[in-house]
Amino acid sequence: MRVLVTPDHRTLSEEAAELIARSIRIRPGLALGLPTGNTPLGMYQELVKKHRNEGLDFSAVRTFNLDEYLGLARTRPQSYHSYMQTRFFDHINIRRENTDIPDGSPGIDVKAECDRYENAIRDAGGIDLLIVGIGTNGHIAFNEPGSSFESRTRVVSLAPGTIASARKYFASEAEVPQSAITIGIRTILEARRILLLASGQTKAKAVERALRDPVSESLPASALQLHSDVIAILDEAARG
Ligand code: GLP
């Protein structure tokens, strides 16, 4: 694993966007795995800037999001569908049919949706560059501690701490979804290259353990040690 430490969140965002932009210029039709959360917001802003100012072309790029809440309508502002649309897709020239996000809408046939998602990734030739954040308990995408390293896209129950972290985006605790659809650890490890982003002091412990502790299913992010092409971009605070 290569580790790059940047002074702050702004520089982390710039480095991440530059790495992604370079990859798109080399391979305009690449498939990206995309995260949500606070950490990648600056990265998306930088990519939008590169589209506007440098003509970075997304017209052939394919994207697969890592996860989505279950039981939340796609149109709700807290859904990852809304996040991606308003923070990124609305501002670049990506084709809507080239973007995919697990569908966690109420009433969805979850088994069929999880199978569809894995097949869609496979049919696209796999994910070339997957960008992933980290939860304070070491989760990646929504793979909570205890997730099998053989796991693929599936429904998961969110850990109490993950629900507590999401609370700020919802009107009340009762509104926070208790479960989600997430790609699995195996799905993540099958990506050709992985970019791990971590920002802020609250992530320092999880990052240190993910990078240095023995690989264990009790710490999902430690699975990244098993991959041969991972770049971790941390800001000073997340390095601890
Ligand atoms: C959620 C997302 C993860 C993300 C994590 C950290 O759990 N499902 O993909 O990595 O939050 O989010 P943040 O960057 O806001 O700390």
Q: What is the pLDDT of residues 145-175, one digit of tens each?
A: 999 999 999 999 999 999 999 999 999 989 9
Compute φ and ψ for 149, nearest 5 degrees.
Answer: -70, -10
Mean pLDDT of the residues in the chain: 97
SS3 238: helix
Residue 36: what residue type?
T
> Among 9, 39, 131, 136, which is best to mutate for testing ligand 1, by the most ligand atoms less than 8 A from CB?
39
Q: How far is CA 61 from the centre of its chain?
A: 16
Q: Which pLDDT score is estimated for 9?
A: 98
Q: Which pLDDT score is estimated for 48?
A: 99
Percentage with pLDDT > 70 across the chain: 100
Q: Is 66 in the pocket of ligand 1 (CB under 6 A)?
A: yes
Overall pTM surpassing 0.95 (yes/no): yes
210-224 mean pLDDT:
97
Q: Which pLDDT score is estimated for 218?
A: 97
Q: Is 35 in the pocket of ligand 1 (CB under 6 A)?
A: yes
Separation of alpha carbons 217 and 212, rounded Å: 14
> Among 13, 36, 66, 183, which is best to mutate for testing ligand 1, by the most ligand atoms less than 8 A from CB?
36
pLDDT band at 75 (very low <50, low <70, confident <90, very high): very high
Q: Which pLDDT score is estimated for 13?
A: 98
Return the beta strands (E) in 57-199 as ranges: 62-65, 67-69, 99-100, 129-132, 154-157, 179-182, 193-198
Separation of alpha carbons 184 and 220, rounded Å: 10
Separation of alpha carbons 210 and 213, rounded Å: 6
Instruction: List the Cα angle 143/146/152 in 5-degree steps.
Output: 45
Separation of alpha carbons 134 and 79, rounded Å: 19
Compute the distance from residue 38 Cα to the ligand 1 centre, in Å: 7
Q: Which pLDDT score is estimated for 240?
A: 81
Write out pLDDT tens, residues 81-138.
Answer: 999 999 999 999 999 999 999 999 999 999 999 999 999 999 999 999 999 999 999 9
